[in-house]
Amino acid sequence: MRIGKLAAATAVLGATALVLSGCSAPEADSGLDEGSSVNVAWNQAFYAYNGNTSFGNATANQNIISLTNSAFGYYNNTPEWVKDESFGTYELVSEDPQVVEYTLADTATWSDGQPVDTADLLLNWASQSNAFNDPNFDPSAFQDPESGEITEDFPEGQVYFDGGGTGLDLVTQTPEVSDDGKSITLTYDSPFVDWELVFGSAGQILPAHVVASYALGIEDPEEGKAAVEDAILNNDTEALAAISNAWNTIFNFNEMPEDPALVLSTGPYVITDLVADQYVTLSANENYEGDKQPSIDEITIRFIADPLAAVTALENGEVDIISPQATTDVVEGLEGIDGIEIITGLEGTYEHVDLQFQNSRNPGVFEDIRVRQAFLKTIPRQEIVDTLIKPIIGEDAIVRNSQIFVPGAEGYDESVENNGSSEYAEVDIEGAKALLAEAGVTNPEVCILYANNNPRRVNEFALIQASANQAGFNVTDCGSAEWGGLLGTPGAYDASLFGWQSTGLGVTEARANYVPGGLNNLNYYDNPEVTAALDELNGTFEADRQIELQQEVDRLLWEDAYGVTIFQFPAVTGVSERIENVDPSIIAPTIFWNAWEWELAE
Amino acid sequence: MATFVIRRLVASFFVFLAATYLMYILTALSGDPLEDLRASTAPNAAQLIERRIDLLNLDVPPYLRYFIWLGGVGGCFIGQCNLGFNVQGQPVLEILGQALGQTLQLVTFAAIVAVVIGVIIGITTALRQYSTYDYSVTFVTFLFFSLPIFWVAVLLKQYIAIGFNDFLRQPTIPPLAIVVIALALGLIAAGIAGGDLKRRLIAGGTAAVVTGAALAYMSATEWFLTPSLGIVVVALTAIGLAFAVTAISAGLRNRRALYASLTVAVLAIVLYYPLQFLFVSMTLPLFLGLAIGTILLSGAIGYFWGGHDRWQSARTAAIVGFLTAGVIALDEFMSYWNAYSNSSRVRGRPIATIGAETPNLGGNFWVQGVDSFTHLLLPTIALILISIASYTRYTRSSMLEVLNQDYIRTARAKGLTERTVLVRHAFRNAMIPVATIIAFDIGAIVGGAVITERVFAWTGMGALFQNGLERTDPNPVMAFFLVTGTLAIIFNLIADLVYAALDPRIRIS
């Protein structure tokens, strides 16, 4: 073929193309979703919808669950306990024996339309009370490593609920259930003053009829509930084994399950999409009739591990609310962004120094209270806050002055005035020297345990060391990356510097720290007066008296030179101007506590 | 050969075994896996600690706990893999699968593009050795090579994502910027063109004028809001590709190959409108099917045009067909850009800085494609920028070495065209060492995107490794190590075998 022919062919084809171009190309439907979402960044991915199990017990899950599952109450950002009467009411019928009656409201319904009833509460009790568990049974031998599920050779008839430890374990007697299926009565074996948190912040109520359909193969919800209720009331081991297995495993998913029954909700939102390690989408629950009516139709929580990546994502409009780990880098990044609000505040963890009352590395160094007082007087608490925390959250950075109360909670201010913490408000080198001289000790060595892989704690240690050495102490470095495992080890250190994480306001939580043999009593502290006050607290239901006793304990601890609290961890939240009413709480679920009150700005 | 492979595998196996032991101990001794629970005042902390100790066998010292882990891995050989659990209690095997998927999605495309661009730059710098172009390219690639990736990522996010998205609000380019960009591209073109001053001026001038005109047009028509190529640009590109590909692949003197390419190009232009009707209901299998079909059909056209070397024509036509089809697909993707960008989920800020997709976007095949593009763009650029330097240098030095060989001089002396000498005699041999380097890199790249993944919020192998280290959690770290270590061993072996297969001078025994 010669080039001429080719040119001709090209011309013909080109002309055809031009003619065809007269026809309009078909308009395709882009298929784009019309909805819009408020996007929130969180640093860890959601991976389980049952937050009661040791598997699902994590903030990343609890945040989501706090929006999808209602309970008899929740914490607001004061922080204080708020009853949710649109879910149900409760009443302390008698203190001794302690009897509590719970009554569900008519507005408490599952998102599939089923009412929440006593079968659900009974299941919650059964799973949290350990009443049916065999204490000698070790479940991990029967878990399938591929799926995490219980394997087939799991002994049949073995009841094992992977929950508990939340207070319901004090109710071993099977609860009484009303005939209308709306009330349940718990009788405690021994008094439990944090009883309000049971069926509240501690323990999420899961749908009994869904568990029944998986465990017992009963599709009808009414029958399913009845079967679960029967199994629990009659201690039917065979059925309970199946129920416990289902309860442990069916809610463990990090991708959207095929069965929508697994994401049933009783709260303002319901999970509508979940992509592993990327995001979870919550949509307003249409069947929700309670008080927490949501204003925003859809909230998507995206998982961003890197704090600075979250900041740029906020700047780029991909997320509207971020609350990454607070550092000066994050704050500086946020300050450079237009159109956002920066909310600074505090977080539940608090930094503190504890002194070893026994089993210290340098034997007996802190036996004399004057040495303890002298050492604590040298700790530059204000300086630590000024140099390490102020740059992050500015004027919100405060020295925490109470061993017991969370700043802002009822009783904190009053306790701070009277607990004697003011003795340690300023560094007092001269006073410390005088106390040491009085005690007749020269140059005592104090070895401090802290996380030496954590830059902030390394700085704190350096500040404490410099200050204490001026008063004649010889502060040495017991820092370790494995500080957690070393805590409480006899002879390992003389003082420890770390953070306690408060998860709630339960008055019984402090007990483990201060009574001899308590789980968190890592410095072998033993003061009969404190123990007595805590014992009384354990049987005191009246709120005012509880606070009095807590203040008493607080005062005694400072008087004994137990240690010092330093600061509350800083929190920074960046919120796009298009969202209003975001007001983080100091305790979990921090930014999410009032998500139903968030509004789009007009 | 078989002895060589077996000997290598056995040796690698024992080295790897020792390495896993070391890795396990180092990770397990680096901290305290119970740290988060120890600092908790929750009432059930004691119970949680006990369960975690049970689940992860923390009561067994690491020196022995390793063998529990090893036993689980050994199960893989009989189909019962057990990589243990992470601190959260999730089975590692399951999260490993998800992580591997994410990482492959992230690195595959970046790896291919980096190789292609790296080789092209390497070849061109070798051909223009010691020119301004050579020096500038060397400088730039090394600059990027030495930048830490987290910093590159921050720059990319600031300028390409946030900056470009801000620009889209008012997508007009200031005249000064147009002039600067046009001149810059002109200089680059002049550098590549090489030769005498006239040749360089023509190349540079043309490039500058075309770029300037294109940018001015884009600015005036707000092209960035509703980008499209249209039939005219598609047609010009198709014809241009036909000539360019033929020039390199077969030489313009091979008229049959040229006609074959032009036939394919013209066919593509003619099919441009009919294809729109097919595009409406596009799915991934159909898309891949069309791509393969295009290659086969174009190849067939080339084959039947024939010539003294049918397969050469077929190859040329197939490449032209594939590239032209790509341009048409690009045009179609572009037509959805505006709808995507203005959707309620994207809100006018299309270039993303985090994640793999826009949540709940919906959308058809094309919209999904655009969404993947906007999310992959930044991490891909970041990965390419840092990995391109090595490919460039290896290709350049290998090409230079080959060009100085005697047989190249012989080939030139025989009167072969420059194209034949470069493409057939030099390029193929220069690629032998590069091929082995690519094989190495494929093994390394799966584990090499740790930081990139984190800054762009992808939860792949890097996240698995990093989260494991942060929480003193040996099982996920070991899963990462198993995969990357095995890949390293296998691809090192493959690299050696490939070398032997490509270069007859090398014998494996």
Q: How far apart are CA B295 and CA A154, in angstroms?
A: 55
CB contact under 8 A, A145 and B276: no
Residues in contact with A427: Cβ distance below 8 Å, sequence separation at least 6, in sequence order: A377, A378, A379, A380, A382, A383, A467
φ, ψ of residue A447 in degrees (nearest 5): -100, 120
Q: How far apart are CA B456 and CA A320, in angstroms?
A: 17
pLDDT, mean of residues A157-181:
83
Instruction: Please tell me what DSSP assigns to residue B427.
Output: I
Beta strand ranges found along B101-167 (DSSP E): none
Residue of chain B nearest A140, judged by CA positions? B55
Crossing angle between the packed helical segments B310-335 and B284-305, to the nearest 10 degrees: 150
**Total structural domains in chain A?**
1
Assess if residue A228 is contained within a domain. yes
Q: How far apart are CA A154 and CA A139, in angstroms?
A: 8
CB contact under 8 A, B39 and A304: no
- Closest approach of A127 to chain B, Cα-based (Å): 14
φ, ψ of residue A174 in degrees (nearest 5): -60, 130
CA B221, chain centre distance (Å): 32
Please, which pLDDT band fits residue B97 given cuts at 50, 70 and 90?
A: confident
The mean-pLDDT minimum among A486-490, B141-145, B439-443 falls in B439-443
CB contact under 8 A, B354 and A162: no
Rounded-to-5 percentages of helix, strand, coil across chain A: 35, 20, 45
- Closest approach of B47 to chain A, Cα-based (Å): 7
CB contact under 8 A, A275 and B359: yes
CB contact under 8 A, B353 and A148: no
Crossing angle between the packed helical segments A3-20 and B255-279, to the nearest 10 degrees: 10
Cβ atoms < 10 Å from Cβ of B328: 23
Q: Which residues of chain B are within 8 Å of residue A338 when distances are taken between CB atoms?
A: none
Q: Could you write out the three-class secondary structure of B314-378? A: HHHHHHHHHHHHHHHHHHHHHHCHHHHHCCCCCCCCCCCCCCCCCCCCECCHHHHHHHHHHHHHH
pLDDT, one tens digit per residue, over B281-321 is 889 999 999 999 999 999 999 999 877 788 889 999 999 99
Q: Which residues of chain A are within 8 Å of residue B99 when distances are taken between CB atoms?
A: 277
pLDDT, one tens digit per residue, over B30-66 is 888 888 888 777 777 777 888 888 888 888 889 999 9
Q: Flag whether residue B232 sits within 8 Å of chain A, measured between CB atoms.
A: no
The predicted pLDDT at position A148 comes to 47
- pLDDT higher at B121 or A198: B121
Q: Which residues of chain B are within 8 Å of residue A254 when distances are taken between CB atoms?
A: 90
Q: What percent of chain A has pLDDT over 70?
A: 91
The predicted pLDDT at position A147 comes to 47
The predicted pLDDT at position A153 comes to 55
**CA angle A172-A175-A179, nearest 5°?**
170
Please, which pLDDT band fits residue A369 given cuts at 50, 70 and 90?
A: very high
pLDDT, mean of residues B316-328:
95
Crossing angle between the packed helical segments B255-279 and B284-305, to the nearest 10 degrees: 160
Residue of chain B nearest A129, judged by CA positions? B44
Q: Which domain holds residue A192?
A: 70-254
Assess if residue A2 is contained within a domain. no
A152: left (phi over 0), alpha (psi -120 to 50) or beta: alpha
Q: How far apart are CA A601 and CA B186, in angstroms?
A: 49
Cβ atoms < 10 Å from Cβ of B155: 13
Which tokens is B450 given?
A: 């740790």
Mean pLDDT of chain A: 87
CB contact under 8 A, A302 and B354: yes
The predicted pLDDT at position A14 comes to 58
Residue of chain A nearest B255, judged by CA positions? A3
Which residues does residue A341 pair with via DSSP β-bridges, in sequence order? A575
Q: How far apart are CA B19 and CA B15, in angstroms?
A: 6
pLDDT, mean of residues A293-312:
93
Most B-contacting residue of A130, A318, A350, A480 (CB-CB within 10 A), to test interface = A318
- Note whether B131 and B190 are within 8 A (CB): no
Assess if residue A219 is contained within a domain. yes
Assess if residue A341 is contained within a domain. no
Residue of chain B nearest A148, judged by CA positions? B91
Which residue from A140, A277, A502 is facing B41, i.e. has the nearest CB? A502
Q: Which of B438, B354, B429 is nearest to B398 (CA)?
A: B429
The predicted pLDDT at position A7 comes to 61
Cis peptide before A97 (omega within 30 of 0): yes
- Note whether B84 and B93 are within 8 A (CB): no
Q: How far apart are CA A146 and CA B93, in angstroms?
A: 6
Cβ atoms < 10 Å from Cβ of B151: 11
Which residue from A21, A145, A484 is facing B84, i.e. has the nearest CB? A145
Q: Which residues of chain B are within 8 Å of residue A600 when distances are taken between CB atoms?
A: none
Q: Which residues of chain B are within 8 Å of residue A49 when distances are taken between CB atoms?
A: none
Q: Which of A393, A391, A396 is nearest to A407 (CA)?
A: A396
- Closest approach of A446 to chain B, Cα-based (Å): 22
Q: Which residues of chain B are within 8 Å of residue A251 when distances are taken between CB atoms?
A: none
Crossing angle between the packed helical segments B461-470 and B474-502, to the nearest 10 degrees: 140
| Domain boundaries, given as residue ranges, for chain B | 111-387
Q: How far apart are CA A406 and CA A398, in angstroms?
A: 12
What residues 380-439 of chain B have any CB closer than 8 A to a CB of chain A? Answer: none
Q: Which residues of chain B are within 8 Å of residue A13 when distances are taken between CB atoms?
A: 266-267, 269-270
Q: What is the torsion angle, in degrees rounded to the nearest 10, for the CA atoms of residue A56, residue A57, residue A60 and residue A63? A: 110
User: Strand A88-95 and strand A98-104: pairing?
Assistant: antiparallel
- Closest approach of A309 to chain B, Cα-based (Å): 6
Q: Flag whether residue B98 sits within 8 Å of chain A, measured between CB atoms.
A: yes
Domain harbouring A74, CATH code: 3.90.76.10
The predicted pLDDT at position A140 comes to 57
Most A-contacting residue of B38, B160, B239, B340 (CB-CB within 10 A), to test interface = B38
Q: How far apart are CA B174 and CA B219, in angstroms?
A: 8
Residue of chain B nearest A31, judged by CA positions? B363
CB contact under 8 A, A503 and B279: no
CA B187, chain centre distance (Å): 27
Assess if residue A453 is contained within a domain. no
Assess if residue A170 is contained within a domain. yes
Which residue from B88, B158, B364 is facing A29, i.e. has the nearest CB? B364
CB contact under 8 A, B90 and A254: yes
Rounded to whole angstroms, what are the CA distances from B505 to B194, B216, B402, B437, B500? 35, 55, 15, 18, 8
* pLDDT of A201 higher than 80: no
Which residue from A14, A20, A487 is facing B38, i.e. has the nearest CB? A487
* pLDDT of B496 higher than 60: yes
Query: For residue B435, what is the enclosing H or E element?
Result: helix B428-445
Assess if residue A478 is contained within a domain. no
pLDDT, one tens digit per residue, over B249-263 is 888 888 899 999 999
Residues in contact with A345: Cβ distance below 8 Å, sequence separation at least 6, in sequence order: A393, A396, A570, A571, A572, A573, A584, A586
φ, ψ of residue A463 in degrees (nearest 5): -65, -45
Q: What percent of chain A has pLDDT over 90?
A: 58
Cβ atoms < 10 Å from Cβ of A4: 8
CB contact under 8 A, B32 and A485: yes
Q: Which residues of chain B are within 8 Å of residue A32 when distances are taken between CB atoms?
A: 339-340, 343-345, 361-363, 367
pLDDT, mean of residues B8-22:
93
Rounded to whole angstroms, what are the CA distances from B129 to A89, A516, B409, B425? 84, 80, 17, 19
CB contact under 8 A, B32 and A10: no
Residue A428, CB-side half-sphere exposure with 13 Å CA sphere: 15
Q: Flag whether residue B372 sits within 8 Å of chain A, measured between CB atoms.
A: no
Residue of chain A nearest B38, judged by CA positions? A484
pLDDT, mean of residues A411-415:
91
Most A-contacting residue of B273, B332, B451, B475 (CB-CB within 10 A), to test interface = B273
CB contact under 8 A, A305 and B454: yes
- Closest approach of B323 to chain A, Cα-based (Å): 20
The predicted pLDDT at position A339 comes to 92
What residues 260-289 of chain B have any CB closer than 8 A to a CB of chain A? Answer: 262, 266-267, 269-270, 272-274, 276-277, 279-280
- Note whether A228 and A243 are within 8 A (CB): yes
Please, which pLDDT band fits residue A1 given cuts at 50, 70 and 90?
A: very low
Q: Could you write out the three-class secondary structure of A395-422? A: HHCCECCCCCCCCCCCCHHHHHHHCCHH
Q: Is A71 exposed, middle or buried (0-12, 13-18, 19+ CB in 10 A)?
A: buried
Mean pLDDT of chain B: 89
- Which residue is listed with tokens 């898309």? B287
Q: Which residues of chain B are within 8 Å of residue A30 when distances are taken between CB atoms?
A: 336, 339-340, 343, 363-364, 366-367
Q: Which residues of chain B are within 8 Å of residue A35 when distances are taken between CB atoms?
A: 344-345, 360
Q: Could you write out the three-class secondary structure of B80-98? A: CCCCCECCCCCEHHHHHHH
Q: How far apart are CA B118 and CA B76, in angstroms?
A: 38
Assess if residue A394 is contained within a domain. no
Q: Which residues of chain A are within 8 Å of residue B157 when distances are taken between CB atoms?
A: 312, 316
The predicted pLDDT at position B192 comes to 79
CB contact under 8 A, B347 and A317: yes
